[in-house]
Structure 1
Amino acid sequence: MRSLRIPTIAAAALVASLASAHADPAAEAFLHSIYDAYSGENGGGVMLDDAALPGYFTPHLVGLIQDDIKIAEAKGEVPKLDGDPFIDAQDWKISDLAIKVEDRDASHALGTVSYRNFDQPQVMKLDLVKGADGWRIEEITGQTGKLSAIFQN
């Protein structure tokens, strides 16, 4: 029985590696549509106004970001989200951009974006959800923690 177990384990490992190697190309393209705007000499990033938010984030995150802005404006304060959520910084000079996507299931994936910002290595993890309008970000985890956590206080 032991000899049958090893090929079974090896086959399972091969299937798992092939599954992650064939991540949905649309998920990777979605992340490139964001992060390519930050890279290079003229990498100005993306504009995150009310109209653009639903194109990047799930409705839950869109609501958190919009509520944060409204509350801050009413109080005459700076929103809790005072930097760029895609790079977890206020300023950037991005180089060495690399994007990897792993499927979790048919409608969930994990994106890992690594880059250098002002020559400092950075890694962002993005939980992605596929809906009727394509892939959207459900959560971003960067150097300072989870995006949704900044709205909880």
Structure 2
Amino acid sequence: MVTLLLVAPLSANAQGQTPQAFLEELYRPYRQKDFKGQPYWETSRYFAPDLAAEIDKDMAAASKRNEVPLLDGDPFIDAQDWEITDLTVASSVDGGSAKGAISFKNAGQPKTVTVFLVQTPKGWRIADIVSPNGSLRKLYKLP
């Protein structure tokens, strides 16, 4: 009984979380020097259902073939290696969708990624991440 009471507020908090809070929570650990990256392979934790399904499908197929998946790097910062400084997160909301502008320096080089969010029954989730190198939705050939 106690376990249920402890779990319920966490779930309610995630569903009531703002896009800004979702993005801040996602990017906050990148400020730590030895952070190894978010477990983006836990797709339902971060991504909208259609994008999560495609990432899962690709990872399973790549593993079966003993190959590298399409997503070969950290999608949140668009890099395989990083040394993040000067990280800022800004967001705007438009009904059931939101947009985040994530700016930072990676190894001294300025970079910006744009994160598009959608409201889901589980809270805000990433519908796309767009960087100078492309888009997750385009990578997985999603509309």
Q: TM-score range by the shorter chain?
A: 0.7 to 0.9
- Using the size of structure 2 for normalisation, the TM-score is 0.82
Give the C-alpha shift of residue 25 in structure 1.
Answer: 7.0
| Count, aligned residues | 126
Q: Which runs of 4+ in 1 moved over 3 A?
A: none
- TM-superposed CA distance for 1:37, in Å, is 1.3
1:64-103 to 2 correspondence within 5 Å? Answer: 64-103=54-93
Q: Which runs of 5+ in 2 are unaligned?
A: 1-15
Give the RMSD, CA atoms, in angstroms.
1.6
Larger radius of gyration: 1
| 1:151 has 2:114 as partner | no
Q: Does 1:142 align with 2:131?
A: yes
CA distance in 2, matches of 1:137, 1:44: 20
User: 2:46, 2:17 → 1: CA distance?
Assistant: 17
Q: TM-score, normalised by structure 1?
A: 0.77
Q: 2:69 is aligned with what amino acid?
A: P
d(CA) in 2 for partners of 1:98, 1:25 = 19
The CA distance in 2 between the partners of 1:145 and 1:48, in whole Å, is 18
Structure 1: gaps (5+ residues): 1-23
For residue 30 of structure 2, give the secondary structure of its aligned residue in structure 1.
coil
Deviation digits for residues 66-90 of structure 1 (CA, Å, limit 9, x no counterpart): 1111221222211111101101110
Tell me how far apart the structure 1 counterparts of residues 125 and 64 of structure 2 sit (CA, whole Å). Answer: 29
Matches of 1:148 and 1:113 in 2, distance apart?
Answer: 18
Q: Match for 1:58 among 48, 62, 71?
A: 48
Identity %: 37
